[in-house]
Amino acid sequence: MRTMSDFNADPWHFHRRELAERTVLALTKGPTKALTLFAPRRKGKTEFLRKDLTPAAEKEGHVVVYISFWDPLEPLALLVDALEQAVARKTITGKAGAAVRRITPKLKLSAKLPGTGAGGEIDLSQIPPETRTSLVAHVDTLLGRLEKPKRKTILLLDEVQELARRERDEGLVAALRTSLDVRSDGLSTVFTGSSREGLRTMFSASKAPFFHFGSQFDLEPLGDEFVDHLIARVLELNGTALDREVAIEAYRSLGRSPYHFRALIEDIVLRPDLSIEDALVAYRRRLAAKQGYDTFWLGLKPLHRALLGALATEYPPFGAEASAMIESETGKEPAKSTVQRALASLADQGIIDRWDGDWRFADDELRIWLSAERV
């Protein structure tokens, strides 16, 4: 039987089949009930889930449910919507149901709950407080219906650190932990995140809601074989033979980001007259405009600008060089507590992240742009 993933074959995608097969084996045959996977944004994490792990699991007969919390919508709404669709279809639902349909404001639930409209219908865009508790309990019911001890259902919870950002989601997170705990014989989970600090808050801190829940590992960046794959695809497509060494250098300069390098290759396919070097310059210029780096920079507080400038120059935020930059920008010597609050604010906005005690840019292209244009 063909699965949903069969219809989403992408010849430009570079597969990590061996890693996907090992992961499925660990989740379904091994002692692992959950895995937590970290990778910075745009390093191929979601593609691995959707285009490698999902087909590998479906090939073995497992139902896979993918939910991304990287979305402005209510996390509870995303979870309920995806689980309802999975129960109905017993197949992958896509990002908040995107592979099957766009999430709609009105969702007819599979059970009548207090506070829902006629026929068990609820407006997911506006969940009233009195309905939240019932919906959280309904999530447990849906997970129970997906539980399959003989052939586990696999949940892929992408960008799960977003669940820790709002106090009102604490009840959902606690209930989800309990549900997954008691149903671990029939449900396995892959949590992913692009923020080390966010994942630490969820999984590693002593009071974390998912403290020591499953094993953790980093998704390693793709090597030069990814570049070889795209070079071969371009040659097959239009006969253009790209210089391998120049292509590898461009890939590494883009932080070994599959997303950015593939976008660069798309530009070269559309403009075969462009050299890789010229295409890279044009791509970075367009990316900066698309991301609004200029507007973002001008909208920052002087203290935040100085801190980001220091980090872009690889100065420690509490070092003498950073202090001098802050004093130059703000007109006064910074107190340590002031710098700490500013770093926390930038982290809350998703601009920086902490890796093993060091602060780094969440978007490496922003760092490169600042280094070239503003520092």
CATH code for the domain in which residue 362 is found = 1.10.10.10
Q: Which region holds residue 157: left if phi is over 0, alpha if psi is between -120 and 50, else beta?
A: beta
Spatial separation of the C-alpha atoms in residues 199 and 150, rounded to whole Å: 30
Q: Tens of pLDDT along 41-58?
A: 999 999 999 999 999 999
Please indicate, yes or no, whether residues 22 and 113 belong to a single structural domain of this protein: yes
Same domain, yes or no, for 164 and 247?
A: no
- Shared domain for 150 and 245, answered yes or no, is no
Print the domain residue range for 148: 4-218
Which segments of the chain have a pLDDT < 50?
1-7, 91-104, 114-115, 117-119
CATH code: domain of residue 176: 3.40.50.300
- Alpha helices in the chain, H assignment, sequence order: 17-28, 45-48, 54-59, 75-89, 129-146, 170-182, 196-199, 224-238, 244-253, 258-270, 276-291, 293-298, 302-312, 320-330, 336-348, 364-373
Predicted local confidence at residue 164, as pLDDT: 82
The pLDDT value given to residue 111: 53
- Residues 73, 171, single domain; the answer is yes
Q: What is the pLDDT of residue 131?
A: 73
48 and 190 assigned to the same domain: yes
If one counts the domains in the chain, the total is 3
CA trace torsion 364, 366, 372, 375 (10° rounding) = -110
User: Of 265, 291, 317, which closes a domain?
Assistant: 291
Contact in structure between 122 and 106 (CB atoms under 8 Å): yes
Q: What angle do CA 251, 257, 262 make, to 5 degrees?
A: 70
- Global pTM reads 0.85
Select from 202, 218, 234 the last residue of a domain. Answer: 218
Reduced to 3 states (helix: H, G, I; strand: E, B; else coil), residue 156 is strand
Could you read off the pLDDT of 227-240 as tens digits, one per residue? 999 999 999 999 99
Q: What's the token pair of residue 165?
A: 């950002």
> What integer pLDDT is reported at residue 95 of this predicted model?
39
